[in-house]
Amino acid sequence: RLGWSLWIRDTVDSTNADALRLLQGGANAPFLVLAEHQTSGRGRRGRVWVSPPAQNIYYTLALKISNGSQGLTGLSLVVGLAVLEALRRTGVEKAGLKWPNDIYVDGAKVAGILLELSGDPADICHVVIGIGINVNMTSSAGDIDQPWTSIKSQIGSLVDRSGLVNILSESLHQYLAIHAREGFGALRDEWQRNNMWQGRRCTLSAGNLQVKGVMIGINEQGALRLMTDDHKEQCFSGGELSLRVE
Ligand code: ATP
Ligand code: BTN
């Protein structure tokens, strides 16, 4: 109904890597890759996404980018909103967003999002949107070096993963349509309403560089706005940034 082709895998290294290979082999986007198990699930900046079999959702949607870089503005934040909506429809009420695109419940990470681009840098034409959701996982198969949770831990019952995949796809389709039609600006307020750290003092790190300030929200492009101690507003964007609350 959504018009996405579907690839269902048992075990893959990473659904993002798989989708990138399919694109290189000429597969037509949009398509979805789902796996039961990832042996090299990846997070941002080369980190590992712990991906045990048969408990969670490992989901990658490959899309054509229609109007160049415009189509990417705020895209990862929009995906965060779509995942949040799917979690709420599944009964997780207290979930919130951490800039740029992690989903937390009470300080514990429940889902992560990783966007990767495909194609010649001068002429990028596809993006793969990777989403990992902890669904029925209650003890981690690997080491997760920060607080985490799962939907099951939150709602106290097993979750039907196929049902959740459908809810997630519907939600993504809906949010991507708004983003394509109206741009990120139309979703900015909704994102800010769900911002876990709105008004809190934060530290932003980029390698060894650190900036401290109060998180005042995001701009029309989805960049982070910090009010620094010298009362100047500064905006930040880019995939290599990491935000911590003080
Ligand atoms: P930031 O990028 O802002 O520093 P982060 O610490 O969450 O945020 P990411 O690269 O976004 O880092 O996510 C990868 C991290 O997520 C891993 O280093 C690990 O701490 C955590 N992690 C790995 N697997 C899972 C999982 N299944 N559930 C929750 N968290 C996980
Ligand atoms: C993060 O928080 O750093 C992002 C984690 C993204 C994990 C998902 S699981 C499906 C897709 N395949 C991957 O290898 N990573 C993403």
Query: What are the chain's domains?
Result: 5-193 (3.30.930.10), 201-245 (2.30.30.100)
Q: Residue 240: which pLDDT band, with cuts at 50, 70 and 90? A: confident
159 CA to middle of ligand 1, Å?
Answer: 22
Evaluate whether 8 touches 31 at the Cβ level (below 8 Å). no
- Structural tokens at position 6: 């579907």
pLDDT band, residue 68 (cuts 50/70/90): low
Closest CA to 125 of 76, 179, 65: 65
Mean of the per-residue pLDDT values for the chain?
Answer: 94
Per-residue pLDDT, 107? 94
**Concatenated DSSP letters of 41-88:** -B-GGG-B----TTTSEEEEEEEE-TTGGGGGTTHHHHHHHHHHHHHH
Pocket (CB within 6 angstroms of ligand 2): 14-16, 38, 41-44, 47, 49, 58-60, 102, 112-114, 130-132
Q: Residue 111 CA: which ligand 2 atom is closest? A: 2
Per-residue pLDDT at 239:
74
pLDDT at 172: 98
Helix (H, G, I), strand (E, B) or coil at 2: coil
User: Strand, helix or coil at 197?
Assistant: coil
Q: What is the ipTM of this complex?
A: 0.97
Condensed to tens digits (0 to 9), the pLDDT of residues 204-238 reads: 998 889 999 999 999 999 999 999 988 999 999 98
